[in-house]
Amino acid sequence: MTTLLADAQTLLPDLVALRRAIHQEPELGLHNPKTAARIRAALAGLPLEWREGPSTSGLVATLRGGANGRTVLLRGDSDALPMQEDTGLPFASQTPGAMHACGHDSHVAMLVGAARILCARRDQLAGTVQFMFQPGEEGHHGARFMLEDGLIDPLPDAAFALHVMPNAPHGLVSGRAGPLLASADKIRVIVKGAGGHASMPHDAIDPIPIACAIVMGIQQLVTRTVSIADPAVVTIGQIQAGSTDNVIPETAMLFGTIRTLSPRTRTEIQANLRRLAENIAAAHGATASVEFTQGFPVTVCNADAVAFGERTVKGLLGEDAWVTLGSPIMGAEDFAYVLEKVPGAMFFLGASHEGSDWRQCCALHSNRMVLDEAVMARGAAVHAALATRFLAEGFAG
């Protein structure tokens, strides 16, 4: 196991260079052709079989080991976020309005490192490794499209993903059995009243205070109808209404996100939100239409896979390198689509700068998010260790 880490350390300069090249040219959505080309170039000449599909620029590289045993999938996502970067890094994004603020550039680099390590050990592998380079994680359902395109058919016996966490202790790996991350659905509420002159609100039905009442009602709805043992988060992040100061508009629109940890709460909270909005609007003589856009499902980690991951991390990095999370995180991940079909787990890798106060570091999706690139050696080694050990022993080893 320790030799895996040493091999990864040797590769670190190449991984840093790859990560920075991807960081400078971030790509959004389901099609990341420049990133895909860099992945292929970094793995050129290695004994890999490649698959691509029509729906995305995603790649699956398959490494067949010396024995025809189990199959394990390792995943790294590749897309960026539609936001401006303000890190001041010398390799900052050169694409206006796009930034790798979620660490996917490092995920690609770590998975490339794992592929190079494992290709060098091909004859020692007791099965097959699939390297899933996936675009479209940031709300675009890239994993679902790659599954639908048949890129990982037949399904592997286990699947693992690793996600950097810039505001977590340097180099530590964390995870938990059961729900790890929430489902993520979108809500849009359109409140329709009657427009008029701002000086004569009694002759109109103002949708703006009605929309505000709906927002406040949502706060009470969540705290009074949702169990803390099976929580939900509903946040209205955008309100649109009006065109000028002296006109009461006809409509107001609310946009938000719904996060839950179970299918039951997911269904119930949507039904309750619809009833709340429609009836508050009706009480004021207006109407409200409520629309939901289904997002990622809950990311559920297999208990055996998490226990296996904990043993593997401790064996590779030491007993103190593992942290069991006490509760889920209400962010969302489309690796959930893979974990719906394949037993496996996602783990987090602390990427704050060594020696820094990780609590003060900018979080994921911040325009100032940075990470300590040195942890990528650990990430590549963890990927390789998970694959090697699972092929040899399965979850029970």
Q: Tell me the residue type at 393.
A: E
Percent of the chain past pLDDT 90, that is, above it, reads 97
- Domain containing residue 82: 2-181+298-393
Section 328-353 average pLDDT: 97
Residue 1 in this model has a pLDDT that exceeds 70: no
Residue 397 confidence class, pLDDT cut points 50, 70, 90: low
Residue 319 confidence class, pLDDT cut points 50, 70, 90: very high
Section 209-220 average pLDDT: 98
3-state secondary structure at position 283: helix
Contact 222, 155 (CB under 8 A): no
Q: Are residues 92 and 52 in the same domain?
A: yes
Section 347-364 average pLDDT: 93
* pTM of the model as a whole: 0.94
In degrees and rounded to multiples of 5, residue 287 shows phi and psi of -125, 155
Q: Are residues 32 and 177 in the same domain?
A: yes
pLDDT at 108: 98
Residue 2 confidence class, pLDDT cut points 50, 70, 90: low
Q: Are residues 37 and 167 in the same domain?
A: yes
Burial class (CB in 10 A: 0-12, 13-18, 19+), 350: buried
Residue 76 in this model has a pLDDT that exceeds 70: yes
Residue 66 in this model has a pLDDT that exceeds 90: no
Burial class (CB in 10 A: 0-12, 13-18, 19+), 78: buried
Q: Are residues 155 and 206 in the same domain?
A: no
End-to-end CA gap in the chain: 14
| Count of domains for the chain | 2
Residue with tokens 């998975």, as numbered in its chain:
111
Q: Are residues 40 and 133 in the same domain?
A: yes
In the chain, count H helices and then E strands: 9, 16
- Residue 179 β-bridge partners: 300
Q: Are residues 150 and 19 in the same domain?
A: yes
Alpha-carbon span 158 to 174, nearest angstrom: 18
Task: Supply the mean pLDDT for the chain.
Answer: 97
Q: Are residues 141 and 196 in the same domain?
A: no
Q: Are residues 281 and 166 in the same domain?
A: no
Q: For position 164, which CATH number holds?
A: 3.40.630.10
Residue 396 in this model has a pLDDT that exceeds 90: no
Output the six-digit token pair for 386.
């998970």
Q: What is the pLDDT of residues 222-273, one digit of tens each?
A: 999 999 999 999 999 999 999 999 999 999 999 999 999 999 999 999 999 9
Burial class (CB in 10 A: 0-12, 13-18, 19+), 292: middle
**Domain end call among 293, 319, 340:** 293
Q: Are residues 166 and 248 in the same domain?
A: no
In degrees and rounded to multiples of 5, residue 174 shows phi and psi of -135, 155
Residue among 33, 23, 82 at smallest CA distance from 373: 23
Q: Are residues 199 and 337 in the same domain?
A: no
**Domain end call among 272, 293, 314:** 293
Q: Are residues 70 and 114 in the same domain?
A: yes
Q: Are residues 221 and 162 in the same domain?
A: no
Q: What is the pLDDT of residues 132-182, one digit of tens each?
A: 999 999 999 999 999 999 999 999 999 999 999 999 999 999 999 999 999
